[in-house]
Structure 1
């Protein structure tokens, strides 16, 4: 009988177990304990690369934190972690306390974890196969001292491969999928598969965000549709998903990302900032 069995009601006197399904491992119990302290899990994903998913995830997390919520932001993009740059946290390293990693604190309401914190050389390529990536993602959930959170926002790499699959399986079926697309048909086709992917795993698609929808003129503030517009909204309607909002191409969003300050911290009162504020309203309305 292992130490984990001591005191268990299923343990038998001869060192066996009366539970036909066996008992959860210590790792499973640790993961369950961590998840029990997180009210809402939001997985930001897309079937297409280059749609601005990390920027959207970072600004959603910042907006929730500025609204007074306790937020964790987890970057599981193993091969291209960009959250540290977007939040000007490059060069930080998580501390280890009581056998757990402490996430890097951005402000009093937002804590961040990324593989980018653990790679000393930013030019080093991460060449990992699936099982290693899967193990890292699970470790980033159960071995990080997230504490009590209102939201855990997860930034996934594009596609429906190891990282988003492992993320949803680790977080459980109550994790919500937020799908980011651009309006063009070539992006919408790939993103459609992301919606099906989330549903096949029995998770809920919380909504679709159409990013890079029109261009905000820096001189007059008018929005010009230099690409197409409405593809994300049409996709949401077609797939029976909520449409959360349309975010235009705003030069200040790009500049803020390059310079490492969150757009929603300094530009929340602009037209684009108000769009992000509307996007998080349904999240803020979730039951406590």
Structure 2
């Protein structure tokens, strides 16, 4: 009887453990062709926990430092429901964190999909610094990306072993530094190329990634860019992973990262979780069954959760 009580206590504590988690929504290998357009693949709102240690924060997010190409000098922490990125310091390098690997995303990113995130820049060494989500990331120096920079302009482009071929045209708003610029159209202020114009301004970057037409970029729902050149480079990286990059010399806050199937303006809502059964009925029945199995020598494992 004493052993049974100990087993029950262990089961209850295991059930109450805080989960270690990531924003992955779908289980196993995802095939977007079998999912409705707008189905969420990944959601991370950075709510539910605080972690001021970079390594522990990345572990709880399910992210992983990638240092094969560049040393990871940034601090990524989770505070007040946001990802806090600090990399504006002497000696900082571009810092990469793997979010989802190619195995999970292969049958998502070989079809139309959309990603979105919010960023609030807090400071930088110059106007060209940025954070960005990387697609088709090969773990080294090849990927597709949109860099909306702290100075108020940016690029829709690809990285190819040290080169930056642009998908955007020269007349796209993301490239303008006048009244047609993204910054001026959104905030009504004349563009100042010497200023860190996006400091303390929150923007939402959404990229609709079309297999046929390439990446179309929206900033706060303003169409900022589409693929107008270097079409031959599109869909030529044999990798599907996603990573989050903090350039050197940048501080920022990031929130509400989402990835969904198709090219809709917004994703479908997540399904409502099923109501939990009463602890006095289904939960206790399950606990007693597990306890009985354990007492009889049947092995079992309890998974950790954040």
Confirm or deny a common fold (TM above 0.5). Answer: no
Using structure 2 for the length normalisation, give the TM-score.
0.27
Structure 1 or 2, whichever has the larger Rg, is 2
Which of the two has greater strand per residue?
2
